[in-house]
Amino acid sequence: MKEKVKMKKGAILSRLLPYLLRYKLLFSICILLTVGGNLLALAGPYASGLAIDAMELGTGHVDFSSVGFYAVLMVVLYVASSILSYALARLMIVISRRVVNTMRRDVFNKLTELPVGYFDMNQTGDILSRISYDIDTINTSLSNDVVQVLSSVVTVVGALAMMLAISPVLVLVFVVTVPLSFVLTKKITGFTRPLFRKRSAKLGELNGFVEEMISGQKTLRAYSQEENTIKKLDRQNDETVDAYYKADYYGSLVGPSVNFVNNLSLSLVSFFGAILFLNNAISIGNISSFVLYSRKFSGPINEIANIVGELQSAFSAAERVFRLLDEAPEPADAAGAIDLKAVDGEVELSHINFGYTPDRQIIKDLSLHVPKGALIAIVGPTGAGKTTIINLLMRFYDVDSGEIRLDGHPVQTLTRKSLRLNYSMVLQDTWLFSGTVFENIAYGSETATRADVERVCKACGIHEYIMTLPEGYDTVLDDDGANISKGQKQLMTIARAMLLDASLLILDEATSNVDTRTEQRIQRAMRALMADKTCFVIAHRLSTIRNADMILVVRDGEIVERGTHETLMAQDTFYKQLYNAQFA
Amino acid sequence: MKRLAVYLKPFIPRMSVGFCIKAGGTLVELVIPWILSYIIDDLIPLGEIGPVCVWGVLMIVCSLLAWIGNIAANRMASAVARDCTRQIRHDLFRRISYLSERRVDQFSIPSLISRMTSDTYVLHQTVGMIQRLGVRAPILLVGGVIVTLTLDPVLTLIMVATLPIVGAITFYVSRKGVRLFRIVQKASDGMLRVVRENAVGIRVIKALSKSAYERERFKRVNDDLTEKERTAEKTMALINPVMSLLLNLGIVAVIVVGGVRVNNGTTEIGKIIAFMNLFTIVLNALMAINRMFTMLSRAAASSARVLEVLDTPVELFETEPHYSFLPEHAPHIAFRNVVFRYDRGTFTVRGLNFELQRGETLGIIGATGAGKSTVIRALMRYYDVKEGAIEIDGVDIRHYATTDLRAKFGVVFQNDTLFKDTIRENIRLGRNLSDEELIEAARRAQALDFIEEQGGLDAPVAIKGANLSGGQKQRLLVARALAGNPEILVLDDSSSALDYKTDARLREEIRLHYAQATKIIVAQRVSSIMHAEKILVMENGRVIGMGTHDELMETCPLYREIGESQIGEGRVGPAAGEGVLA
């Protein structure tokens, strides 16, 4: 996928800020704490100065009551300042964690709204890297840098005021150096921004690669491809660490550069200060204080420059996150879409055209009438477009042209939810999540009781197996359900579909991994369960669909033949060829 | 953490140079204020502009040196971090590549992925950061303390007295932090698992309109993770305020004691003022060191997870073959009283006892979960058998080098993987095969038509083969298995998505071109295996029937049931099938 035009920094910022501003109150308290903490931190040394003044008379004349008083005052100030800074840190953690929590939730919620096509097109690893690494990067900046910037601003303003009071002429030095450091910073960051973006992208690629390779490890081992894969990883790894290095190194130019400008301004201050002194325009004491304040002044500017570097990586991470948030969701249901419940199950397809990409049309002018309660079998060579029909029936993808009707309603006028819930579906790829067996089977219907679940499991012949698991129905299926065979997983997904009392059923090569004995049992149970329901079956085992009400033979995206098993076998059909070939 | 430091060893010379440059840069930076005070205190009062210019220029030179030095040092630090991470990631991936299947199950695939990605990322960040902060802060700390010692050792001791307490607290808190961050990482794995499941199961979720449920599920893991992150960070947040408080109290003590000493005449006020200034430097250095500790405790959690993988022994991998000659006239493949058990669960496969001559075909049929795929996993030595032995050419497979053993096989697993690469690379899979061989294999696998349709061998295969249909995927996988002219051909349910006609043609091609290869075919359809010399009928991990199709139709009720249901009345028997083929 090509990255689209890059986002403007301002645009990213204006989208990041609302996340913070959601906690206006907490955030204002943060600002107060920062200002308070900084003032206390400035007051401490001031009190210490007073304490030292009390010693000024020297040996034998120290005013111990004053020293004692100021010492106690300092203790109070320091304790207060520590408490404030701890409170600030805690509060910042609360805010930043909430922000991260919200962001992750937003990203996830977005994922649930995206069309199926997005997941067909994007690597899971890359999606994961957005929700973990990228958001973490944003958070690091938010929680550290925001406070830093705040306290820096307080100090800079204070120091500038003091310097202006001492010598407005000397402040002119900063008229030269401050813009210089800004220009320098801007130049460097302009140069490094693409580098940071590349770094994020490369990490996403690496994640995708690692995910693919580790998941496909069994195969790679079978062909002893360990070494080759390691070599491939090395290439990917090289690119990733190199992208990191470039961003890291060029990003770290900012700090020393700004430092240099600061040192330069110090030199200028002392030089011009000397000239002013020679012209009797300033006292030595004032030069000394001016230098102290200019250090206070430039210190935070230096900090800010460092932060700019970190913000860079935060920005490119944010860009990736927002890009995902900007993906077009599944289009909203049409205005006034009907929430169609309990349909009869009559389906009508008329003149459907469809292709996943514009350059390759997969379904050409397909028309089909499916009366309610019919068993429709779709057969045909692989790659002829059989699964595509399912994608369209369920509206995982929308047709390019033509119309699909359910009970006479064009599907575009129905809510997707009601359309999809009218189908039970068992797919080729079994899918179970990390939850209990019960949760997995009851997944489709919220109201299902334990008894309901056991009933369908018995009907599918999986009940006995489940009872042999350590915790029965409460057994937690772990990652990838590795402890359960594919066939058992499939039976569970069949049970899941069976539990959903829908009017239409879709079986996509669903029973191809179940032995025939079990399959027959399932078929019988399903037929009983589905009396008067409409059923679409994609199967290769032609023996199992001989009793279908209609068999559609799909070839190259077109329905070339249709009819019952008997009528199709009675003529010299493509179906007959297929059927006879199955026993070869 | 210490163990991973090994990775830094090769970079010690480079790091030392970097450290020296950085130290130089830091020291030069310290010279600048010194020159400044010299100009202000000593030169300006002289009222001459000449020396001021000279020293002013010197200051600028120092600034330039510091600038260049720091940049050079940063560059070296970044380079070391890069090379070090590259090595760690390489070794980690290598180790994962050679882990036994049993260990992979233990770690779980998602956890291995996150160790390989986010954990190595944390390490990368840390190595770079430590080098940058690690020089400057200690120099400022030690330098500051040394200078105060020369001013007034007694006052220094008072100030430094708080350091052990600071050290103890930092140590205690960051040790706790390591534990907490490990918990965070675990919760993070849990969060990612839900996201992954959603990406993979999107069709089911959409079909059942369970988005709201999934959001709720995500909310739980997200909140859990947030809670744990908060706890860990809260703990670490304690260090800074406590540290600066303790040091500030030290300064108050310095003032009080200093007052007494000034009264006694043992010290002067100027020294106390100098103390104040140096104290700021020391405090800042300590803060920086603390920041390093925070980072290190996070990195320690990551490095522990990385090390856990690196320390896992590679159990199955043998480099040297253990046999000197192959026994003659031994069967090609023999299972001798094999008993197999997975670590997790109670599933056992037992009673495997059979021999296959070179060129023979073994068919395996049985209900799901009967243990069919297990036979293959044991034969290819993804797992070792618990009892008995598997022999190839009369030698126990445990005595082969794993690479040699697996080189004998061409295999398609159930639900096998296609990679995001070209069609060519997916068939070739890194082996040394010419395009002609690849195309011939594709032709035999009935894949050539659609490959040409897609644009030939250079056509791309999308992630997880998303641009191909189920049947196309399987044919591509079969082409991969056939391409190497394997000694043993293993097809585990590899034609379930093929229509019968294609399947039949494929079987005919295999019969014609792979007569010398021993074939093991796991299938659901009787028609796929009915011509096999030996058919194994499995149920619940046991072999309940073995023989030819005809024998089994007589003796094995389960087989007969399957056969009759699939083939239909009156069409049972090889004769009917062969008729079509001929």
Q: Say how far apart CA A455 and CA A499 lie, in whole Å.
A: 9
A396 is a domain residue: no
Plot region of A563 (φ>0 → left; ψ -120 to 50 → alpha; else → beta): left
- Among candidates A580, A564, A429, which has minimal Cα distance to A509? A429
Question: What burial class does residue A472 get, using C-beta atoms within 10 Å of its C-beta: 0-12 exposed, 13-18 middle, 19+ buried?
Answer: middle
Chain B interface includes A355 (CB < 8 A):
no
pLDDT (tens digit, 9 = 90+) per residue, B245-304?
888 888 888 888 888 888 887 777 667 766 766 776 777 778 788 778 778 877 888 888
Tell me which chain B residues have a C-beta less than 8 angstroms from the C-beta of A542.
500
Q: pLDDT at residue A528 above 70?
A: no
DSSP string, A7-67: PPHHHHHHHHHHHHHTTHHHHHHHHHHHHHHHHHHHHHHHHHHHHHHTTTT-TT---HHHH
CB atoms near residue A148 (< 10 Å): 17
Q: pLDDT at residue B80 above 60?
A: yes
Beta-ladder partners of A506 = A425, A536
- State the pTM of this model: 0.71
Q: pLDDT at residue A185 above 80?
A: no
Domain total of chain B? 2
Radius of gyration of chain B (CA): 36
A340 is a domain residue: no
Distances in Å between the Cα of A444 and the Cα atoms of A110, A112, A381, A502, B366 are 21, 16, 32, 10, 30
A26 is a domain residue: yes
Burial B156-194 (b: 16+ CB within 10 A, else e): bebbbebbeebeeebeebbeebbebbbebbebbbbbbbb
Q: Which two tokens stand for residue B223?
A: 């909140």
How sure is the predictor about B576, in pLDDT bands with cuts at 50, 70 and 90?
Answer: very low
A155 is a domain residue: yes
Give the residue on B whose Cα is nearest the Cα of A73: B252
Q: pLDDT at residue A584 above 50?
A: no
Same domain for B153 and B261, yes or no, is: yes
How sure is the predictor about B424, in pLDDT bands with cuts at 50, 70 and 90?
Answer: very high
Task: Give the three-state DSSP class for B556.
Answer: coil
Tell me which chain B residues have a C-beta less than 8 angstroms from the C-beta of A253.
71, 74
Is the CB of A483 less than 8 angstroms away from the CB of B498?
Answer: no
Sheet holding A504-508, edge to edge: A423-426, A504-508, A534-538, A375-379, A550-555, A558-563
Looking at every residue in chain B, the average pLDDT score rounds to 82
Q: pLDDT at residue B421 above 70?
A: yes
Which strand (E) or helix (H) includes residue B540?
Answer: none
Do A553 and A539 contact (CB within 8 A), yes or no? Answer: no
Same domain for B40 and B140, yes or no, is: yes
Considering only residues 269 to 308 of chain A, which have any Cβ-Cβ distance to chain B shorter than 8 Å? Answer: 270-271, 273-275, 277-278, 284, 287-288, 291
Q: pLDDT at residue A172 above 50?
A: yes
B93 is a domain residue: yes
Same domain for B67 and B26, yes or no, is: yes
- Nearest-CA distance A572 → chain B (Å): 16
pLDDT (tens digit, 9 = 90+) per residue, B409-418?
999 987 788 8
Q: Say how far apart CA A34 and CA A155 lie, in whole Å.
A: 11
B473 is a domain residue: no
Beta-ladder partners of A379 = A553
Tell me which chain B residues have a C-beta less than 8 angstroms from the C-beta of A30.
none
Nearest to A515 among B205, B504, B524 (CB): B524
A494 is a domain residue: no
How sure is the predictor about A503, in pLDDT bands with cuts at 50, 70 and 90?
Answer: confident
Same domain for B342 and B227, yes or no, is: no
| CB-based contacts of A539, cutoff 8 Å, min separation 6 | A377, A379, A507, A509, A511, A512, A545
- Nearest-CA distance B288 → chain A (Å): 13
Q: Say how far apart CA A219 and CA A212 lie, in whole Å.
A: 11
pLDDT (tens digit, 9 = 90+) per residue, A311-345?
777 888 888 899 889 888 888 887 888 887 777 88
Give the residue on B whose Cα is nearest the Cα of A292: B33
B509 is a domain residue: no
Of A443-447, B27-31, B474-478, the range with the lowest mean pLDDT is B27-31
Q: pLDDT at residue A146 above 80?
A: no
Do B232 and B198 contact (CB within 8 A), yes or no? Answer: no
Distance of CA A378 to the CA centre of its chain: 37
How sure is the predictor about B145, in pLDDT bands with cuts at 50, 70 and 90?
Answer: confident
A372 is a domain residue: no
Is the CB of B367 less than 8 angstroms away from the CB of A487?
Answer: yes
Instruction: Tell me which of B310, B339, B371 is where a domain ends.
Output: B310
Same domain for B385 and B292, yes or no, is: no
A306 is a domain residue: yes
Chain B interface includes A69 (CB < 8 A):
no
φ/ψ of A133, rounded to 5, equals -60, -50
- pLDDT value of position B368: 62
Same domain for B188 and B267, yes or no, is: yes
Same domain for B293 and B361, yes or no, is: no
Domain that holds residue A255: 9-326
Hunting for tokens 């799909």 — which residue is that?
A554
CATH number at residue B174: 1.20.1560.10
Domain total of chain A? 1
Q: What angle do CA A424, A442, A531 make, to 5 degrees?
A: 40
| CB-based contacts of A10, cutoff 8 Å, min separation 6 | none
- Confirm whether the ipTM is greater than 0.85: no
How sure is the predictor about B574, in pLDDT bands with cuts at 50, 70 and 90?
Answer: very low
Chain A interface includes B256 (CB < 8 A):
yes
Give the residue on A whose Cα is nearest the Cα of B291: A144
Q: Which two tokens stand for residue B164?
A: 């052990």
Tell me which chain B residues have a C-beta less than 8 angstroms from the C-beta of A51.
255, 259
Nearest to A512 among B98, B402, B497 (CB): B497
Residue B251 identity: I
How sure is the predictor about B535, in pLDDT bands with cuts at 50, 70 and 90?
Answer: very high
Same domain for B146 and B85, yes or no, is: yes
Better pLDDT: B97 or A305: B97
Same domain for B341 and B381, yes or no, is: yes
B440 is a domain residue: no
Chain A interface includes B581 (CB < 8 A):
yes
B235 is a domain residue: yes
Same domain for B368 and B306, yes or no, is: no
Q: Say how far apart CA B52 and CA B42 lie, in whole Å.
A: 10
Same domain for B250 and B381, yes or no, is: no
Domain that holds residue B282: 3-310
B127 is a domain residue: yes
- pLDDT value of position B573: 38
B414 is a domain residue: no
Q: Say how far apart CA B56 and CA B53 lie, in whole Å.
A: 5
* B333-341 vs B348-356, strand pairing mode: antiparallel
Is the CB of B71 less than 8 angstroms away from the CB of A125?
Answer: no
Same domain for B146 and B211, yes or no, is: yes
pLDDT (tens digit, 9 = 90+) per residue, A475-494?
888 654 456 766 677 778 88
How sure is the predictor about B581, in pLDDT bands with cuts at 50, 70 and 90?
Answer: very low
Q: What angle do CA A205, A211, A212 make, to 5 degrees?
A: 90
A387 is a domain residue: no
Is the CB of B109 less than 8 angstroms away from the CB of A215?
Answer: yes
Q: Say how far apart CA A147 and CA B242 lie, in whole Å.
A: 19
Distances in Å between the Cα of A514 and the Cα atoms of A64, A425, A466, B495, B520 are 93, 16, 16, 13, 19
How sure is the predictor about B566, in pLDDT bands with cuts at 50, 70 and 90?
Answer: low
Beta-ladder partners of B389 = B336
| Segments in B99-210 forming alpha helices (H) | 101-107, 109-114, 120-151, 153-160, 162-200, 202-207
The dihedral formed by the CA atoms of A246, A247, A248 and A250, expressed in degrees to the nearest 10: 80
- pLDDT value of position A457: 87
CATH number at residue B339: 3.40.50.300
CATH number at residue A157: 1.20.1560.10
